[in-house]
Structure 1
Amino acid sequence: MARNEFRKSQGVVPFGVGATVDFENESLMSAGLDVWPSEKAEGAAWLKIMEATQIADGRLARRLSSDLKRKIEFFLSPTEAPELTGFQPQQQPGRVFMPFVRFPNWYFCPRCRILKRIAWNTQSSPNAAELKCSNMGRRVEGKGDPCGSLKISRRPTMSPVRFVVACENGHISDFPWSRWAHQNSDKDCDGGENGSLYLYSTPSAGLAGVVVGCVKCNSNRSMAGAFQKDVLHRIFPSGCPGERPWLGPKGVEECRDKIPQTIQRGASNAYFAKVVSSILIPPYSAQIQQILDRPDIWAEIESLPTVDGSVEPFLRIKAKNLGVDPTLSFKQYESVAPTARWMQKAMSCRRKYVIAMMSTRHMEVLGRQSLSVTISIRREFPSRTIRIGSDNSSRG
């Protein structure tokens, strides 16, 4: 089985939050940062994950908080995925898989052409029954055994449809297959959600040769004209449903002033990430940082009876003995102490911390843009440069 993977840097651009990623026989969407990281851990394991994914940049956070009118405290970076041994990931501290949701939710069988809705959180596996065709009806051409009568290993794997709808405010939804097929029909049919829809091809050229039909009432309609502006206004009379699949089924917000437009899920106008860059330069010398990074120094700091009252004289003595400016040493300690105290508290309480981060998307439909932000950060240190987004692999 081919592994679902891409480079770590692609987790920001072009496969940032809300972007669809095509893997073999499936299409997934990068999940929102409220579910990063995907690994559920506690204590030391959780701190390793946080160390690998969390980035603190106060200047950038203040800038974006002002621009977006929302409080931003820190940022998250895609982490390296665990190495795989066969089909089992090795336990490696700080390495987790990136979380994805399934989008679009409509799939079709390449053999019998039936349309089937698959849940947004259906897991991927080589022989997942949910991703196999279970249609007991005959093929569209009227030949062969039904797919559902075959052994599970021989059943065709469902493929994602290539049409979705999106609005100028960045919302994206499944194409309304049932309502499109029955829009010009006067028949009262509820067959759109129970395995009665088929997506098949005819000899006609272009979109006119792509037809969605209902075998229950014999209604059908080609995809010709589906990409025209406001052609879906009869299907969405109240405007866009405001769906944000990367946040799950509950990530819906009100959006009544736009009519969704049909797009192809992998088209160039489906997703754009707006990248904001920041250079993070530590304000003090590397020698001071080395002092604060020493485990024995932190162990002595943690053993002090009162942190706020005892750290300054302690660091002044240590800095003086090592030939470093005592004043600068204490100032740098103050800049990192809040994080250190938080980590100490997390270790002692063994609590799960939920990361709430600003994650938005940028969608351009028919040349019209709306603002949103995906973050790319570069960290520069005196002795070396570390770019968030290396050539290491991240897997979904």
Structure 2
Amino acid sequence: MTAAARTTSVKGQPSRIGGARPSHLVTTGGVGSVVDLPGMSVIVRGTDTWGLERAEVIDEPRLLEKVRHALGPQVKALRTAPWDPQDSDDPWTRTGVPVSPFPRWLRCPRCFRLGPLDPPGQFELIHRSGRRPDLAKWVHATCQQQTQVRDVRKRACLPARFLVACEAGHVDDFPYVDFVHHGREHPCPGPKLTMRDSASTLGPRVNVRCLECQASRNVADAAGRDGWENLPACRGRHPHLQRFETCGRRLKLMVLGASNLWFGVTASALHLPQGQTTADIVGAHWELLGQLPNATVVQTVVDGMDVLRGLRTVPGEEIWAVVEKVRAQGGPDAEEVDSDLLTAEWRLLSHPTTDREDDDFRAVPTVGPAGYEHLIEQVVLVSRLREVQALLGFTRLSAPDRRELAPGNRLSLSRGAPTWVPAFEQRGEGIFLELPEQRVRDWAESVTDHPRIAALRHAFARWSTNRARPVDHAFPVARYLLLHTLSHLLIRQVALECGYGSSSIRERLYVGTPAEPASGILLSTAASDSEGTLGGLVALGEPQHLTRLLDQAFDDARRCSSDPLCAEHVPQDPSETLHAASCHACLFASETSCEANNRWLDRAVVVDLTGDGLAFLP
């Protein structure tokens, strides 16, 4: 399933210019992100410009309540991206996600002319083959090197490769004109810029020259720690909302496509089966059922909505009686929402039962791997699961902390207070591993003052202080290191055999709270279709397979192609690195798999690399 990316249509030309997966619009290319389409670069517009006629509501009460807690009670729904399979190939479709060209400076590959899209006339959008959105392109209408070439055959102009951003999250086009003419006594009467690249062993040689006054400057002058001195102050631009606000902060040079240009602030929750009594189901869907006027309407709604299928065997009068009783009580009892959405999941996964199953959740315990009783207390095969993930906002330059929903630099998805947020759901399968709590607790207490643990704790303090965030002294460093490192070791091994790529396998770590500690890992994979996946991951949870995978994982953990540098790495002042013995060769995973941005990893807590009793395994 894809959602069309559409822009304001030029007269006589289609509006559809590309497509994206619904999950992409939440995880890596959501509102405010710069997306590379085949022929151009665009920014995803705010949610207040999205059409909701084809945006379906996703039912997940636990996640919705968490979103409301972070964004306000005005949030009424989680919605998918607008999508309609009936007109998905229509080049003039009005269903889709609005985008705008960004950056708005382009470079001609033939004459090297550098210029903005505004005012119109210098560049022209060519998109006359609507069913091939990848052919949409901007061309240099006045290029002297292509005067005899038809527009459809002209080479596509490239988006200018530099942007500027500030710590407040504003992003803007690079100020090419001001940058090139900085310090000149007289302003240039009519700037005409070109951009040329040249190879150099001394650094980047990207020269911007004005053909009118012959002023020239290397973009490298704007790079580095002091590059802001050669740039104007931030003018507070939010291109995804098409507005400006007062700012004045220092600007930072950014390269188009940089990974720190957009970090999504997301929340996710696994579907947990609701209670099977009529009162439980009515309470779970009270916002819908509590608004209905009589038993006849209740029966019609129950018959027409799949999420209420558990009530279809109950007479309408009986359902209405329960609704009236709950209304007389002032509504259903409010359930406490766990601060990290994980406590209820941990309780069910660690104590699976057939009494709490439905079409979207099935979990069955199995025999643990032979020889690893000291490491694995329980293995649960989750043959069916459903995960819903919602986008609450985003940050630039610095990523939010683990499951942090209200970072100080979070940017809004819309101009006003949002009444809904983008979300997507996936169904799949997984393996849940529970570690012996008492042994994990004893080990964590014994290594609290170990130099490697202490070094990471100090690095965390520096990391938090440099980002103006309070230091979380209660964060269980040792416990999280153990679970996270073991998770990454298994992801790398499982990906070799289960039929899914490593980027398709996600981790979900359960560390609990001081009052209710937990030690669990859920490795899952999912697909956006209604049937989910095919059992390749669950099969590896059987004891004969899991034993082999653990053997291989720990054997690989004892060595790395980057040793001894990797094994001996420990963050030292002033480093903010939040990992020790780990690198791309041994532990790092893709950003779609890791929930902590490859932080909190150290092979030494799993296998003996130090010889001083730090390792959890004997």
- TM (normalized to structure 2)? 0.43
Number of corresponding residues: 317
Q: Identify the structure with the greater strand proportion.
A: 2
Long gaps (5+) in structure 2: 1-13, 130-134, 299-311, 333-390, 402-406, 414-420, 428-523, 530-618
Aligned with residue 44 of structure 2, among 17, 30, 46? 30
* Change beyond 3 A, Cα 1:169–1:90: closer
| Distance (whole Å) between structure 2 residues aligned to residue 175 and residue 371 of structure 1 | 22
Q: Report the CA distance between 1:15 and its aligned residue.
A: 0.6
Q: Which residue of 2 aligns with 1:328?
A: 322
Q: Report the CA distance between 1:81 and its aligned residue.
A: 5.0
Q: Which residue of 2 aligns with 1:252?
A: 244
What SS does the corresponding residue of 2:240 show, helix, strand or coil? Answer: helix
Corresponding position: 1:125 with 2:119: no
| Distance (whole Å) between structure 2 residues aligned to residue 105 and residue 117 of structure 1 | 6
Q: Report the CA distance between 1:224 and its aligned residue.
A: 1.8
- AA aligned opposite 1:80: W
Q: Report the CA distance between 1:99 and its aligned residue.
A: 1.4
Q: Which residue of 1 aligns with 2:468?
A: none
1:271-350 equivalent positions in 2, closer than 5 A: 271-278=262-269, 285=276, 300-301=296-297, 321=315, 324=318, 326-330=320-324
2:127/2:137 contact within 8 Å kept: no
1:1-396 equivalent positions in 2, closer than 5 A: 4-37=18-51, 46=53, 49-52=54-57, 59-65=65-71, 71-80=74-83, 82=85, 88=91, 96-118=95-117, 125-126=127-128, 131-136=138-143, 138=144, 146-148=145-147, 150-192=149-191, 196-205=192-201, 208-236=204-232, 239-248=233-242, 251-256=243-248, 258-278=249-269, 285=276, 300-301=296-297, 321=315, 324=318, 326-330=320-324, 360-364=393-397, 371-372=409-410, 391=528
What SS does the corresponding residue of 1:225 show, helix, strand or coil? Answer: helix
- AA aligned opposite 1:31: R
* Change beyond 3 A, Cα 1:300–1:321: closer
Deviates more, 1:171-180 or 1:322-331: 322-331
- Once the two structures are superposed, residues 328-376 of structure 1 have per-residue CA deviations (whole angstroms, 9 ceiling, x without a partner) of 344689989xxxxxxxxxxxxxxxxxxxxx9642011699985327767
* Change beyond 3 A, Cα 1:218–1:367: farther
2:208/2:217 contact within 8 Å kept: yes
1:27/1:160 contact within 8 Å kept: yes
| Distance (whole Å) between structure 1 residues aligned to residue 102 and residue 317 of structure 2 | 58
| Distance (whole Å) between structure 1 residues aligned to residue 81 and residue 88 of structure 2 | 21
| Distance (whole Å) between structure 1 residues aligned to residue 325 and residue 119 of structure 2 | 49
Higher relative CO (Cα under 8 Å, sequence separation at least 6) belongs to 1
- TM (normalized to structure 1)? 0.64
| Distance (whole Å) between structure 1 residues aligned to residue 319 and residue 59 of structure 2 | 30
* Change beyond 3 A, Cα 1:187–1:326: closer
Q: State the percentage of identical aligned residues.
A: 21
* Change beyond 3 A, Cα 1:81–1:148: farther
Q: Report the CA distance between 1:73 and its aligned residue.
A: 3.6
* Change beyond 3 A, Cα 1:23–1:64: same
* Change beyond 3 A, Cα 1:117–1:182: same
State the Cα RMSD in Å.
4.7
Deviates more, 1:162-171 or 1:222-231: 222-231
Q: Report the CA distance between 1:227 and its aligned residue.
A: 1.6
1:364/1:370 contact within 8 Å kept: no
Q: Which residue of 2 aligns with 1:143?
A: none
Q: Which residue of 2 aligns with 1:339?
A: none
Long gaps (5+) in structure 1: 40-45, 139-145, 303-317, 337-357, 382-386
| Distance (whole Å) between structure 1 residues aligned to residue 99 and residue 325 of structure 2 | 41
| Distance (whole Å) between structure 1 residues aligned to residue 315 and residue 400 of structure 2 | 64
| Distance (whole Å) between structure 1 residues aligned to residue 158 and residue 277 of structure 2 | 53
| Distance (whole Å) between structure 1 residues aligned to residue 255 and residue 296 of structure 2 | 59
What SS does the corresponding residue of 1:277 show, helix, strand or coil? Answer: strand
